Amino acid sequence: MRISVLGSGPGGYVAAIKAAQLGAQVTVIEKTEVGGTCLNWGCIPTKALVASAEMAGKASKFESYGIELRGEAVPDFSRIISRKNRIVNTQIKGIKSLFSSRGIVLKEGHGMLTSPREISVTLRDGQRERIDADSVIIATGSKPLQIPYLPFDGQRILSSDHALMLTEIPKSLIVVGAGVIGCEFACIFSALGADVTIVEMLPRALSTEDTEISKILEREFRKKKITLLTNIKAEKVDVKEDGIHISFADGRKISAEKVLVSAGRLFNSEDIGLEEAGVSKGPCGEIAVNERMETNVPSVYAVGDVVGGLLLAHVASAEGITAVKNIMGGNERIDYASVPNAIFTSPEVASVGLREYQAEEKGIKVRTGHMEFRALAKSHTTGEIEGLVKVVADAQSDRILGVHIIGPHASDLIHEAALAVRMGLRTRDIADTIHAHPTLSEVLMEAAADVHKEAIHVIRK
């Protein structure tokens, strides 16, 4: 079986490795750098910056841990960026080694389908090559969405890609959009010393998360002096020598050195030969696929951001593996209901399954349990006491429908909950499982017990 993979982000590169594991002959076509958005412009570089920002935040608290800092801790952005670049380059080398160890051929150039089983590649040196395959997996990803009144210029008006290429920390920054990317960058630049304002058209930050989680995050923003303006839409934008000035319909005006626009993503479904291959798109330009990741054309599959839905690296990889298994004769489907979501704000946010409002919209009667991190001894030892866990359970069956966390290591803690949602576990299954002490994981055990008002570390009034 010959499989060609167009794009080498977490969708494409994981699909390629899985295909090689299952015995296929694999060619990957990549026009920029292996690892895609995730490794070069997304998950990994931002998390390297998050780590530097956290370090800067910790430095200001050294004394409270009994450590005297002699001299000031000053972030040096060029070194922060060099560190980020080193991490990214190590991971790029890692993917290339994985490819060569499995005999995967990497063609570096722009690929376009010329038919359902053929890709034409314009290589970096300008030469053209045609690659035949029995099946093609399209994994071309997405790119930052531009808003007409704030066109990216890379100087004053930045996309998330531009923000990762800055050489200095801006003194002030307006972030347009309080979604995942906007909130993560707001926390990074605020911790590094920028004066940050977030503007959001919707009523709250992280509007797809549970409302209680958004409220706590907004409280934490206030503590960090990040200004959040909600229910607000820009009317006029002036880019001047001294910075960028935004006026809003209600008469308010704000100014900053730079603006970061994080208003969504655009699917990379243009200029890849979908028309030539007869592949259909959905209403927003995403490639239309079924649960098996098949497009309307039998030999063509599509995975990752370019098919829309949950724009997450681990979803792209899971879809890539599903596509490959189906190409190789399987009958796999993705279970989107138990996909964990991790947001690397400060504190972190993570969730799986239904939010309380979603369960109510579905007409399900729910019971909820809460537990604050400050109730855990472990949180006090590490000095990370902000946040809570909320468990949403079916009131009748006790089945866990969703878990929502804001707090330290939320991105790691969520996986016990993801397994519980996937396996259809009840709150008592988690509450009755002995959790090691002292650990942050105890918070989920206690939140599950709280659904039945049986949590130990709660003062009942």
| Chain residues that interact with ligand FAD, rule: CB under 6 A | 6-12, 29-32, 36-38, 41-43, 46, 110-111, 139-142, 160, 181, 268, 272, 304-306, 311-314, 316, 344
Map residue 409 onto helix, strand or coil: coil
Q: Which is nearer to ligand FAD, 48 or 425 (CB)?
A: 48
Nearest residue (CB) to ligand FAD, 119 versus 425: 119
Quick one: angle between helices 442-450 and 410-423, nearest 10? Answer: 50
Judged by beta carbon, residue 160 or residue 295, the one nearer ligand FAD is: 160
Q: How far apart are CA 182 and CA 199, in angstroms?
A: 9
Which residue from 36, 31, 4 is spatially nearest to 20, judged by alpha carbons?
Answer: 4
State yes or no: is 437 an active-site residue.
yes
Distances (CA, A) of 341 to 142, 217, 335, 337, 353: 18, 16, 14, 11, 9
* Rounded Cα distance, 380 and 375, in Å: 9
Q: Which one of 245, 404, 435, 437 is the catalytic residue?
A: 437
Could you give the 3-state DSSP secondary structure of residue 36? helix
Pairing, β 172-176 against β 195-199? parallel
In whole angstroms, the minimum distance from the beta carbon of 393 to ligand FAD comes to: 26
Which residue's CB is nearer to ligand FAD, number 194 or number 448? 194
Strand runs (DSSP E) across 44-191, as ranges?
105-115, 118-123, 128-132, 135-138, 142-144, 157-158, 172-176
Q: Where are the alpha helices (DSSP H) in 60-124?
A: 77-101
Contacts of 117 (CB under 8 A, 6+ apart): 132, 133, 134, 135, 136, 299
For helices 180-191 and 43-59, give the axis angle rounded to 10 degrees: 40
Q: Which amino acid is at 262?
A: S
Q: Which is nearer to ligand FAD, 307 or 376 (CB)?
A: 307
Element (H, E) at 386: none
Q: Which is nearer to ligand FAD, 181 or 443 (CB)?
A: 181
359 Cβ contact partners less than 8 Å away, ≥ 6 residues apart: 366, 392, 394, 401, 402
Q: Cβ–Cβ contacts within 10 Å for residue 153, how many?
A: 12
Least distance to ligand FAD from the beta carbon of 50, Å? Answer: 9
Using the minimum distance from each CB to ligand FAD, give the nearer residue, 131 or 449: 131
Compare residues 4 and 441 and give the one whose CB is closer to ligand FAD: 4
Compute the distance between CA of residue 406 and CA of residue 372 in angstroms, rounded to an integer: 9
Residue 339's contacts (CB-CB under 8 Å, 6 or more residues apart) are: 310, 312, 314, 315, 318, 352, 418
Phi/psi at 185 (5° precision): -65, -35
- CA-CA distance, 174 to 184, in Å (whole number)? 13
Q: What is the DSSP letter of 329?
A: T
**Residues tagged active-site:** 437
